[in-house]
């Protein structure tokens, strides 16, 4: 489970050619991305294609020059051993007549930090403790050498 989710809405303008696609930064702080989620709403009908890149280099799909083309789909890719600089990008084209918006989510952890461990079930927290602690040691009264002033006499 990732500690952070970074979300980006990228609108790909109508008439963006495949030969000169839109390049959009998905910059995050230095992090280890553990999963990428992309939401493609209904509408593109094969006219929008995209790639995930990092620092100008295509990462997904793996085949050079290939683009993902889909419609009305949510895609989730668990990934590992990718860049940790945070320099992610979306490269996209749109040969259609309407703008289309893709939502990209980068699920991330701090570099070198393991994912969040599983939480204890609530029942485990509500059951009586079986751990017994030894009694606290008796403390001797402290003598700080302070003397309270005498109280004034009442009439």
CA 101, CA 12: separation in Å to the nearest integer? 6
pLDDT of residue 42: 96
Contacts of 18 (CB under 8 A, 6+ apart): 49, 67, 93, 95
Alpha-carbon Rg for the chain, nearest whole angstrom, is: 29
Give the pLDDT confidence of 89-130 residue by residue, as tens digits.
Answer: 999 999 999 999 999 999 999 987 655 555 656 665 565 555
Residue by residue, DSSP assigns 114-145 as: PPPPPPPPHHHHHSPP---PPPPPPPPPP---
Polymer length in residues for the chain? 155
Distance set, CA 113 to CA 4, 6, 59, 74, 119 (Å) = 12, 17, 23, 27, 17
The predicted model scores a pTM of 0.71
Decide if pLDDT at 139 tops 70.
no
pLDDT higher for 73 or 149? 73
Q: Which CATH number fits domain 4-109: 2.60.120.530, 1.50.10.20, 3.60.21.10, 3.20.20.210?
A: 2.60.120.530
Structure tokens at 107: 């699920």
Cβ-based burial of 39 (10 A; exposed 0-12, middle 13-18, buried ≥19) = middle
Residue 21 C-beta-side C-alpha neighbours within 13 Å: 23
pLDDT tens digits along 24-65: 999 999 999 999 999 999 999 999 999 999 988 999 999 999
Q: Is 40 helix (H, G, I), strand (E, B) or coil?
A: strand
Domain ranges within the chain, ordered by starting residue: 4-109
């Amino acid at each position: 489970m990732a500690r952070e989710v970074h979300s980006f809405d990228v609108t790909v303008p109508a008439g963006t050619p495949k030969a000169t696609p839109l390049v959009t930064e998905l910059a995050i702080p230095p992090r280890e991305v553990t999963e990428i989620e992309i939401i493609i709403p209904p509408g593109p009908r094969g006219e929008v294609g995209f790639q995930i890149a990092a620092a100008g280099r295509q990462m997904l799909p793996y085949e050079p020059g290939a683009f993902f083309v889909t419609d009305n789909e949510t895609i989730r890719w668990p990934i590992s051993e990718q860049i940790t600089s945070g320099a992610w990008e979306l490269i996209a084209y749109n040969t259609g007549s309407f703008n289309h918006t893709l939502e990209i989510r980068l699920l991330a952890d701090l570099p070198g930090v393991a994912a969040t461990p599983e939480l204890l079930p609530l029942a485990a927290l509500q059951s009586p403790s079986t751990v017994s602690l030894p009694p606290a040691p008796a403390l001797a009264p402290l003598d700080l050498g302070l003397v309270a002033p005498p109280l004034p006499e009442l009439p």
